[in-house]
Structure 1
Amino acid sequence: RDQVEALTRRFFEIVKSEDALKESISHVRLGRDDWSIGCTHGHPHKGYACGLWDLLHIVSVGVVETNEGKSASEKVATADAALAMRNFIEHFFGCEECRKNFTRMYDQCMFGRCDRLS
């Protein structure tokens, strides 16, 4: 949590370049490389999808926290953040069926997405 907060505080510096991002995470001590029991439910080869959804939740909360107290021109648009997450899933989610279902539902504005993020 402390590492996420440290990165969030420097968000606008970090997004300027790949070098800025690399520098900002160079000192970050990574945790274990296995998934939490909450994601694996005791099965060592499970956890990726759950971890991905956890990551997306962290990103969405981070956008809200980053926007607190900012003027309208300084805020990260929630629709832009959602589109970035959609594109990340389209290009990097390993489960083809899951990827297709997610992008189809996103693109069709299912679950009121277009109304909530406009």
Structure 2
Amino acid sequence: MALSETIPSSQAREDYKEAFMGKVEVLRKIYVPVNEDNLHWYLVIFDMNQCQVILLDSNPDPKKKASKIFSIKQLALYLEGMLQHDSFYDFESTIRPKVSEFPMLEALGIGRQRNDS
């Protein structure tokens, strides 16, 4: 939804806030599965406690790395925009996370898919 740019963040925030996210103060991690070219899925984890973005990809393609990083940055900006809204916090003065500034880490030592699987 965030990458398609068809639904404004205000609508997405209302649709998904209570069902999936709850209050940010108790939020630990946000898991976002991403489909790449309708062929491959990878997982992006926004770790709100450690202030980092983790990429889990079982079949990374070096040729698509730049576009994948761009997509993850778009997701981070979209999420950051949603998390600016007061409804996610108990107090108005709560500091909003700068998700777009979180460092991105690629998980090492995870299982790998066989090519063309």
TM-score interval w.r.t. the shorter chain?
A: 0.3 to 0.5
Higher relative contact order (CA 8 A, sep 6+): 2
Higher strand share: 2
TM-score, normalisation: structure 2: 0.36
TM-score, normalisation: structure 1: 0.36
Larger Rg: 1
